[in-house]
């Protein structure tokens, strides 16, 4: 099959690799109809997370079941499915507790949590390819309605829609609450959409990219452009000096100012300033324990020195970590089916697998308008 293969930083190829097949009785093989490029795919792309050469990229996958192993009985050949980026066994202590993001059995390295085509998440190939092998298929796969309706909405169910929603869950956004979301990339925009679905009375979205801020406004948020305004002042003024109830961090460890200089603590510091005393912060932007190319010595060891003193004094709660997609994806799917949620509003480009290398380059450069790229592998 044809696939997007990681070679080295800034070097991908689209090439023929071995077809995935059923290896275990509980496996399924999916024919990919849509696979997205994610902001976190840029971490290995930029050499900021080590990935083995030869790995097929892609953890945001959906498609049609092509084949199932003899132990699979809920999922059938021909089913249309969404594949959560968390690859989980369904039976370990963390899985049975609902934390598929920290499955204890799926990652052979022993680290909790596994995924497709991603550093430190196990040996599993990704789905930016014609086919994908899915272990524990009955547990992991989410059924979608037959046909091709809502394809570009449903494709957000594998990661970023649940991840954005998880940010608002960690921040406990409930009707009437005020929210500040840092980062207007796809996850930040999904957090804004989710905050709106959860009945927030006021939503601020902070970024410095005008095209992304325009999408935030489309999602019903007030845009705050870091390049033009003092973020803390703007949000405090916008809330009559009170601050927001909830904050969402959707930027991660490569936080940088508009000139491009990285400050790993910048976003957390701002959040501690704008979230009111006893408010809550959900961190869904990615942070890592090792980052040899970090801007500061402590950050190379995952140490981010933010204003914990003020956070403690103000009694702020902070939730962190990867989203357990299965906790939310079924309900979010139904919001799409009923026309309540439309996460596809962030899609900027839909291209074939052959154009993936160019799409990565432009997405990485934040080329104008490259917000969310969907790949459509050509297999039929
Ligand atoms: Zn992703
Ligand atoms: Zn598990």
**187 alpha carbon – ligand 1 mean position (Å):** 9
**41 alpha carbon – ligand 1 mean position (Å):** 7
Ligand with smallest separation from the Cα of 37: 1
* Residue 322 CB-half CA count within 13 A: 22
Q: Which CATH number fits domain 161-320: 3.40.50.2300, 1.10.10.60, 1.10.3330.10, 3.40.50.720?
A: 3.40.50.720
User: What are 302-342's pLDDT values in tens digits?
Assistant: 999 999 999 999 999 999 999 999 999 999 999 999 999 99
CA distance 234 to 67: 54
**95 alpha carbon – ligand 1 mean position (Å):** 20
**87 alpha carbon – ligand 2 mean position (Å):** 8
Q: Which residues surround ligand 2, an ion (CB under 5 A)?
A: 88-89, 92, 95, 103, 105
Shared fold status for 2-159+324-376 and 161-320: no
**110 alpha carbon – ligand 1 mean position (Å):** 22
User: Which residues in the chain come in under a pLDDT of 70?
Assistant: 378-380
Ligand with smallest separation from the Cα of 103: 2
Ligand with smallest separation from the Cα of 98: 2
**59 alpha carbon – ligand 1 mean position (Å):** 6
Ligand with smallest separation from the Cα of 83: 1
What does the pLDDT read at residue 380? 43
**310 alpha carbon – ligand 1 mean position (Å):** 32
What does the pLDDT read at residue 172? 98
What does the pLDDT read at residue 29? 98
What does the pLDDT read at residue 296? 86
pTM of the model: 0.96
Ligand with smallest separation from the Cα of 139: 2
What does the pLDDT read at residue 254? 85
**91 alpha carbon – ligand 2 mean position (Å):** 5
User: What are 40-75's pLDDT values in tens digits?
Assistant: 999 999 998 889 999 999 999 999 999 999 999 999
- Is it true that domain 2-159+324-376 has CATH number 3.90.180.10? yes
Tokens of 32: 């990919």
Domain residue ranges in the chain = 2-159+324-376, 161-320
Ligand with smallest separation from the Cα of 105: 2
What does the pLDDT read at residue 259? 85
């Amino acid at each position: 099959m044809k696939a997007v293969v990681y070679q080295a930083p800034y070097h991908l190829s689209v090439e023929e690799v071995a077809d995935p097949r059923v290896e275990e009785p509980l496996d399924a093989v999916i024919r990919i109809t849509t696979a997205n490029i994610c902001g976190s795919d840029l971490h290995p792309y930029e050499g900021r997370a080590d990935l083995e050469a030869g790995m097929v990229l892609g953890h945001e996958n959906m498609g049609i079941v092509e084949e199932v192993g003899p132990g699979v009985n809920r999922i059938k050949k021909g089913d249309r499915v969404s594949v959560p980026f968390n690859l989980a066994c369904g039976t370990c202590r963390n899985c049975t507790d609902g934390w598929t993001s920290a499955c204890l059995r799926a990652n052979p390295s022993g680290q909790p949590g596994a995924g497709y085509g991603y550093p430190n998440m196990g040996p599993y190939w990704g789905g930016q390819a014609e086919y994908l092998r899915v272990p524990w298929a009955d547990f992991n796969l989410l059924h979608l309605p037959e046909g091709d309706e809502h394809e570009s909405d449903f494709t957000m169910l594998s990661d970023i829609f649940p991840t954005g929603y998880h940010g608002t869950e960690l921040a406990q956004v409930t009707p009437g609450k005020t929210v500040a979301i840092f980062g207007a990339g796809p996850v930040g925009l999904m957090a804004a959409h989710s905050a709106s679905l959860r009945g927030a009375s006021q939503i601020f979205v902070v970024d410095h990219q005008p095209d992304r801020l325009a999408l935030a406004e489309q999602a019903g948020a007030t845009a705050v452009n870091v390049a033009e305004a003092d973020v803390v002042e703007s949000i405090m003024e916008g809330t009559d000096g009170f601050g927001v109830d909830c904050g969402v961090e959707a930027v991660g460890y490569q936080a940088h100012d508009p000139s491009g200089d990285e400050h790993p603590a910048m976003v957390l510091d701002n959040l501690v300033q704008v979230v009111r005393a006893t408010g809550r912060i959900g961190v869904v932007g990615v942070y890592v324990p090792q980052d040899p190319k970090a801007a500061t010595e402590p950050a190379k060891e995952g140490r981010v020195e933010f204003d914990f003193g003020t956070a403690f004094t103000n009694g702020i709660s902070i939730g962190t970590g990867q989203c357990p997609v299965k906790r939310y994806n079924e309900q979010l799917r139904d919001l799409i089916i009923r026309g309540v949620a439309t996460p596809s509003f962030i899609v900027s480009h839909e291209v074939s697998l052959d154009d993936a290398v160019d799409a990565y380059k432009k997405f990485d450069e934040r080329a104008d308008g490259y917000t969310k790229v969907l790949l459509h592998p050509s297999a039929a």
